[in-house]
A and B are shown apart, each in its own frame.
Chain A
Amino acid sequence: MSERLVELEIFRYDPEQDETPRFQTYKVPYQDDWVVLDAINYIKDELDRTLSYRWSCHMAVCGSCGMVVNGEPVLACHTFLRDYPGKIRVEPLHNFPVERDLVVAMDDFIDKLGTVKPYIVAKEERDVDDGEYLQTPAELARFKQYTACINCLLCYSACPQYALTDSFVGPAALALAHRYNLDTRDEGRSAREDVVASNEGIWGCSFVGACSEVCPKSVDPAAAIQQTKIASTGDYFMKFLMPWKRK
């Protein structure tokens, strides 16, 4: 296997010393099958132990190593070095405060995720003796793609509306709300509506579509949000036509 050199410009910020971030350049010998995360691990192991970043699985499942590489939000473990001809610039995800180096503070997302109740909400507690929930493959197929979300936050990094409006709930959380709304086992749609169908929820989205373009798991949050808009608009007009059905 041939060994070549790649130059990485890495965003550095040390909250204990730096007033503003800076970029530090490292030269890394790499092999053809290396991803950006391999190069960063090499830097950590061999060149500079002070570099901070998050990673875990190295196989696009855990969602920890989201970073902005040459302007594009990607999973560092899912992005080959060989696909970049020149210098590679690595930054932390956009639209989040930088804790240190490539580590961002996810608090805002975690708080918002909780508000959409991303779990099965049942009106009545179901007993184990009642047996299992039954769901046909067709019912599963309606929401399966949205279950693939790994909360990697690439969509939040790509979303200009999240960047422009602090209160916007954002793509992944709204896609997960849609995922549970579509689940036949769930009865929580009206409980989610307060947040989901608010100005800070789906109506904060202008359908830029960047979230879906950068999603490494093909979740397509933009589609989920548009479908929720149509469903909520339907609800709204139904309330006028059939007020007795109001919940």
Chain B
Amino acid sequence: MSRRPYIREPSKTRWWLEQPRYVRYMMREISALFIGIYALILVVGLVQLSRGQAAYEKFLASAEGATGLVFAALAMFFAIYHTYSWFQVTPKAMPLTYDGKPVPGAIIIAAHWFGFVIVSAALWLLARS
């Protein structure tokens, strides 16, 4: 008997809606859109800074307002989601052993969050000084 297998084609555009884990993955990936736009805004800020006080202050003023705040809120949400998802997988990418035994993933993740708090606090204090 000859084979006649049936082929089920997955949707190339909507597959990620099929399972919650795929939606979470897509959220993680989309975080790059907001982080990328934010980085480009910072670059534009530096360009305006290099062009003089007037240009820089115009840039600062343009970032204010409702649109800026909505973008900032979205960017903040996705940036934190990126941090969370990035730290969450560090034990998989970089497993550690101590004294011949594997270090529990939770400790590796907690160490990253500890570093995050230190770095954030340092930058905050720098901005305040």
Check if A105 sits within 8 Å of B3, measured CB to CB.
Answer: yes
Q: Mark B1-33, 1 if CB is under 8 A from A, else 0.
A: 101111110101001101101100100010000
Check if B7 sits within 8 Å of A97, measured CB to CB.
Answer: yes
B31 CB to closest chain A CB (Å) equals 13
Which among A16, A94, A206, A220 is the interface contact of B8 at CB below 8 angstroms? Answer: A94
Q: CB-CB < 8 A to B100: which residues of A?
A: 138, 141
Q: Mark A95-118, 1 if CB is under 8 A from B, else 0.
A: 101110000010000000000000
Q: Report how far A138 CA is from B98 CA in the complex, Å.
A: 11
Q: CB-CB < 8 A to B22: which residues of A?
A: 160, 208, 210
Check if A98 sits within 8 Å of B16, measured CB to CB.
Answer: no
Q: CB-CB < 8 A to B102: which residues of A?
A: 141
Interface centre among B1, B5, B18, B29 (most CB of A within 10 A): B5
Q: CB-CB < 8 A to B16: which residues of A?
A: 160
B105 CB to closest chain A CB (Å) equals 10
A15-B3, A208-B25 are contacts. A226–B12 as well, Cβ < 8 Å?
Answer: no
A163-B10, A226-B92, A227-B95 are contacts. A210–B21 as well, Cβ < 8 Å?
Answer: yes
The answer to whether the Cβ of B94 comes within 8 Å of any Cβ in the partner chain is yes
Q: CB-CB < 8 A to A180: which residues of B?
A: none
Q: Report how far A16 CA is from B5 CA in the complex, Å.
A: 10
The answer to whether the Cβ of B127 comes within 8 Å of any Cβ in the partner chain is no
State which residues 195-247 of A face B: CB under 8 Å: 206-210, 212-213, 220, 222-223, 226-227, 229-230
Check if B7 sits within 8 Å of A164, measured CB to CB.
Answer: no
Interface centre among A97, A138, A222, A230 (most CB of B within 10 A): A97
Check if B15 sits within 8 Å of A20, measured CB to CB.
Answer: no
Check if B93 sits within 8 Å of A230, measured CB to CB.
Answer: yes
Check if A21 sits within 8 Å of B6, measured CB to CB.
Answer: yes
Q: CB-CB < 8 A to B15: which residues of A?
A: 160, 163-164
Q: CB-CB < 8 A to A164: which residues of B?
A: 10, 12, 15
Check if B5 sits within 8 Å of A213, measured CB to CB.
Answer: no
A164-B15, A208-B22, A220-B92 are contacts. A20–B6 as well, Cβ < 8 Å?
Answer: yes
Q: CB-CB < 8 A to B10: which residues of A?
A: 94-95, 160, 163-164
